[in-house]
Chain A
Amino acid sequence: MATAHVDIHAHAHTHDAHGHGHDEHHDHHEQSFLEKYIFSQDHKVIAKQFLITGLLWAFIGGGMSGLFRLQLGFPDADLSILKPLLGGWLTDKGKIDQEFYLALVTMHGTIMVFFVLTAGLSGTFSNFLIPLQVGARDMASGFLNMLSYWFFFISSVLMFTSIFISTGPASGGWVIYPPLSALPQAMSGSGTGMTLWLLSMAIFIVSSLLGSINYITTVINLRTIGMSFTKMPLTIWAFFITAVIGVLSFPVLFSAALLLLFDRHFGTSFYLSEIYIGGEALSNVGGSPVLFQHLFWFLGHPEVYIVLLPALGMTSEIIATNSRKPIFGYKAMIGSMLGIAFLSFIVWAHHMFMSGMNPFLGSVFMFLTLIIAVPSAVKAFNYITTLWRGNIVFTPAMLFSIGLVSLFISGGVTGIHLGNSALDIQLHDTYFVVAHFHLVMGAASFFGMMAGVYHWFPKMFGRMMDEKMGYIHFWVTFVGVYLVFFPMHYIGIAGFPRRYYSWTNFDAFNIPAFVDLNMFISIAAFLTLAGQLVFGFNFFYSMFRGRLAPANPWNSNTLEWTTPRFPGHGNWEGDIPTVYRWPYDYSKPGSKTDFIPQHIPLSQTPESNNEHDEHDLKLEKELV
């Protein structure tokens, strides 16, 4: 392998033939601390800002799940010990307040979906990897990129503030269905907390759009010489498609939120009609709560893929690298991502089978929904085939990627139940749904995020994370996630509804065996959450004191590993490398090494070229 390292460097230096015009990367004036770390326009710094903010949110959102799991697993426990943390949200008997329980559930969902898995995952890795992997000095607009982070930051501050106000944060579920979310009379969380939620989300959407537009522009315009779309790593394909989905769907959520603000504060009736609450009949007529659901899920469903596709993209990259094999079916992977992206826009109403909408619509959306299972299945099969007959190195990133594939399958297959409207009659809003989306969307994406962190940490911070701690983190999390979410299927089949503070009011749900099971789930959740502390320690410790990273620690083919250990603003010191081949030349027959990076010309590797490389060889001659 050592020889390959030398080759890479020799090559990088000999290749300044085709000048890029703006070579000498940017002016060399000393950047102040503020410019370098706070209001930075360097995509790598912005990525780290997204990552660290996202991780902090992950600990808050995860901690909240710990609190409501206390209530669900130990409904009779006296939690007075948490008084310093929860204050007035504990009743005199030391139990979690009923509305605060709903607030916890709501904030957990909002934080995890938007702040952790959208901003923390896609924001981090799209920012970090797009310029590095397509061979660009930075994003198309560093300034918009900076704004994207700072809008996210403001949005975070607003949401964080809402947790501490006396009426509590938004509590109507992360889907904030009106009229509950529109009427402060309906619950205290629908007061100022809801206003802050809406403002925060509106600003979040601005952040997301600024980011996405940047990602799309960069991928289309700033690819280095030779980096055609068919030579792009699947990570970039995934980020690109994700950004397109985001640009097309987030504005719809923005409009939904805006109309809700109007209903709440300016007396309109978009979502309100024929309501009697708090002892009076409201004057609103003619609105429809179902309209909100349509608008919400028009984002809400694509959002699932906004969260999942980047994770799948990174997994493709990591599995190929560590199996020392090309990803199986590169084009099929792109095709299935495009298919998923397209279909994601026309399946939204499967969240609304029982909302009272026309059953005919239910039939249409059932057909469309189950089509989406086909490209998803193709992806899963392709991952597995990539592992088959590989030469697998289990880095922590690889473990998390294999874990992702497992969770993607186990959570995905129950989508076949839920997408079937006839079955959804019984399963809708039960724990079966909770199990389904936590596995396929929550845990799978989280695993993708963790895989990404472990894999690209050396590039982000120039240092290695500790592998052993990574292994422990993985196994605790992997086993833990299954122990938490798999049993929820049983509870769901038994009909237990979601967002219930307690089930003891119903004979049907007051089953001792499932009380025990809930306790079991809670304990598993606590252990899994505790396991994340290992990661937290490893992450922050290695950032400053970890071992210095080699240039290409995983012997990977993509361009980011051709940059210096601590790349400055501009990424490459000399020219941006030219790309001659796809990123998956791992264990190519005839090659001396088990990887050939993208910037190695085919003419240098005659021993491993095959008949498919003829076309690229011709192109290469034209280039040189």
Chain B
Amino acid sequence: MTLFGLCKTMAELTADMFIVPVLRFQRNIFPPFSYPAGDLADWFASEGGIVTLAWIYAVNIAFAVGMTNLILVIHLERKIAARIQDRRGPMLSFRAFRELGEDLAGEAPTWRFKGNYSGIGIIQNMADGIKAITKELIIPNKADKFLFSMGPIIFISSSVFLLVLFPLSDRFAASAAPAGLMVIMAAFSIAPIGVLTSGWASNNKYSMIGGMRSAAQLMSYEIPLLLSMAGVFLLAGSYNPVDIVEQQREATWLFGLPMWNFIPQFIGFIVFMICILAEVERVPFDLPEAEAELVEGWTTEYSGIRYMLFLAAEYIRGFAGAAVATILFLGGWAGPWPVPPEIWFLLKVYLIIIFWIFIRWSVPRIRTDQILELGWKKLLPLSLINILIVIFMVEIYPYFADIVSLPEVF
């Protein structure tokens, strides 16, 4: 059963048992004013209403799954960073809550001197959330107030939108657009507009430079990114994530090993991994918020929950970027039988994320001119070479397959 099938069953059940009866009941309360409720009830009883409701359920489930993963990703980042840096990371959060309770009750802290330093570190995310929500939302006096609030909305909504766009497996998909990956990349490209908007609206020089850097970085990295993806699209003949993963699942290599796309298109894989790292603005490419020279870059003037959601949205983008990389190059949800495909998919995504975390905490940040040089002078030619290789594999090689019999590699 697919996610959509499940949601449709749920939609039918809720419509039959709850929504339609309630609306029918409402229609009879104040006639004729409540007649529209009856129309709504008829619509929910029809196929269109059920399907719409099913989509809403599917999207919400995908969103919930994505947000749960977000908490895990942030916790993973903190713990691995701490382990790399020879410290412990968040682990006493629950104890802190308890201490707070004891403080409020006027008791002496009981646990502090016992040497039992254990707690639940993942609650640190909750503590951060509470802290951020309770803080004041400061809008600078000379800021452009409308754009100052619009920037976070554009950035955060386009990032959250990403969560429902990629499938976790062929059955667990909230969206099944035929041009799925194009939609994902389009959603990825909206965010820099939000960055530029909030950077400009803050009326702060650091913010503005951060926004400009973000735009420049997007311009130089979007092109090699899409060109490196083009090879995969050529090979699969489709933009649909499901088709792309199916193609990778069917392709085999020596000894019947699966040939996921990162083997024939190794150049494309490398280019894509670098570009997606720049796209999601993680170290070493986090120039827009380089804290050493730009204080906090384009988020300098933001506070409270807006700032928190900026950070969260960046992790969402990271998660989505890793998911795209998995679908395109690492065989998506393909994997041996006993483990369900969704778990395979998440395992690969987390592998990439852990790799990124290792990168983040072991290299410095590179400079603006160097990042642009890397994008235009190195990655762009490499991605074009990758496309040439794929064109040879897909278009030219089959004509000569009878004459020159290469070993069955490709």
A, B co-complexed: no
* Residues of chain A having any CB pair with chain B under 8 Å: none
What residues make up the interface of B, taking CB atoms closer than 8 Å to A?
none
